[in-house]
Structure 1
Amino acid sequence: MTLLELRDLTITYTSARGPVPAVRGVNLSLDAGQTLGMAGESGCGKSTVAMSILRLLPRSTTIGGQILLDGEDVTGMSWGRLRAVRWAAASVVFQGAMHALNPVRRIGEQIAEPILLHNGAGAASSRQSDVDRAVAELLERVGLPARHARAYPHELSGGQKQRVMIALALACSPRLVIADEPTTALDVMVQAQVLDLLAELVAERGIGLMMISHDLSVLAQTCQRLAVMYAGRIVELGPSHQVTTAPVHPYSAALSAAFPTVGDPASRMAPRGLPGDPPDPADLPGGCPFHPRCGVSQPECATQDLQLRPAGPEHTAACVHAHVPAQEAAR
């Protein structure tokens, strides 16, 4: 069953310079029990897409298209209905656990808050014992001892705080979890533990997981499908293994090549990257927005902005080279 579906999603910010199109015609779907990764440079629109799912963007933002959560359009929900959907139907693991927790409240109180909000804030002692039990179970599920419920955020390490954020996201048993850079600033050992935990939760609970990261290796390890975004649009979408090992769009290939190869000192000292910077969303170039930075662009790329088209089984790319891998096109 389709848990989340984005239909021709457009998102425009209001600025002093006028409207800024941050997301332009994104179409995506995610089923329960599936994992979807979103990759791209900073400013490509991936976090904007994620925050729009629960309407966590500024009020001045204009959203077009449809955001269907369990078949219900989020863009048309009343604030009362939206409040009921947040945490209970879908939740977010926010970027930067170091700063996302309230520093003057105990961990257990923060995890209990959404539980009380959505299940009723009865004051009876039996009710409080049920909540305390639920908090302890959530902490243990993410690999933390129940005693940490009485701790303050400053008493926990970065990895422990990230686990608390995951426990918060799971507090009301949502069917969809959105993880925005969940492993940022974590060391490699803790990062691996957090990713393994997310994978276990998807398998055990059958939730849908949307993960955002600039790190393709993280997404390839965790997600079944991968969407690569550039200038507010999806430029490649397909199975994670294919997108990371045999990318079709030159931008996806450049992202993959930007990571050094383990055991290769030359690539570690001089990793390949992209020349220039992403375009200003308020002043996009004509044609394909990537063509000024693309090493294999054709004359038509400056005038023709392609939509996603087939590049293989369950694999699409918005590029004139969509019929062959990008590495071959560059030869």
Structure 2
Amino acid sequence: MTTLTALTYRDAGVDIVAGDALVDRIKPLAKRTMRPEVLGSIGGFGALFELTGKYKEPVLVSGTDGVGTKLKLAFQLNKHDTVGQDLVAMSVNDILVQGAEPLFFLDYFACGKLDVDTAADVVGGIARGCELSGCALIGGETAEMPGMYPAGEYDLAGFAVGGVEKAEIITGKTIAAGDIVLGLASSGAHSNGYSLIRKVIELTQPNLDADFHGRSLRDVVMEPTRIYVKPLLALMKAHAGMVKGMAHITGGGLLENVPRVLPEGLTAELRSDAWQMPPLFQWLQGAGNIAANEMYRTFNCGIGMVVVVAKENAATAAEHLRAAGETVFELGHIRASAGGEAPTVVC
């Protein structure tokens, strides 16, 4: 019988020392995101958040998401400092559409072998996203699982919890024919459609470091997802009831996300000349020979969030959002649909 030398967890591929080093790197990042409702600190078995006195009839709104195959580009380009913001944005923008203020966020980072520098870059982006959305990075999990992931790769998931007064939940049920559809500019492709983006890059082999409208294509495709939380919460606070519905333009693009907030019997008619498709999407469409309808149902095409308001409130809402730093377009209007007609983008 063979006698084994004394084994350690590190021999099996799990480095506890590296994990402890990462926690030490994370703590000051998380501290910058703290809110007064947070009880305790990073490192406990559970995270505590106090709601007392904040709401009369509190409703918790939760969301979870990942970053998708944009991570493959992060691995390929060795660029890890933006995907953390993507992770936060996908969840906080989702719960925002129901009128919720993001309160806290938790992340899950899984890898085969922990690289402390890479993980710290990722968590730094998560902390940045939490700061931009005003929510606390209250905890998370780092899982080192030898043999589960190829060398240099990892996976991410995020979980956001927000709160809203029960009477102020945005459901879209008051949307009516004649209402105006406003679009808030995206910062790029955000975190959707990257399987197609990667396919275009694979087939065309562009120089990712070459000048692309004043930046490198590398930086343009990795631009983090815009977070719309603070400007829209401020609009809803300043003008209660003005926002009738919102749609976060993620997977499915404009054509599949806008219907999610519309009552039965209504559709949205959007004008393609209401905004100019940004250079990234123009390049993707041309280089990939992608049909217009496929573009609108795959990518955000330059519109990251849609806001529906009454016609008489459109100018006020747009002015308020522009003052907060958003680029706003009047995309079109709501009208009666004919037998479940889907939203359209018309010339």
Smaller-chain TM-score bracket? under 0.3
How high is the TM-score relative to the length of structure 2? Answer: 0.23
How high is the TM-score relative to the length of structure 1? Answer: 0.24
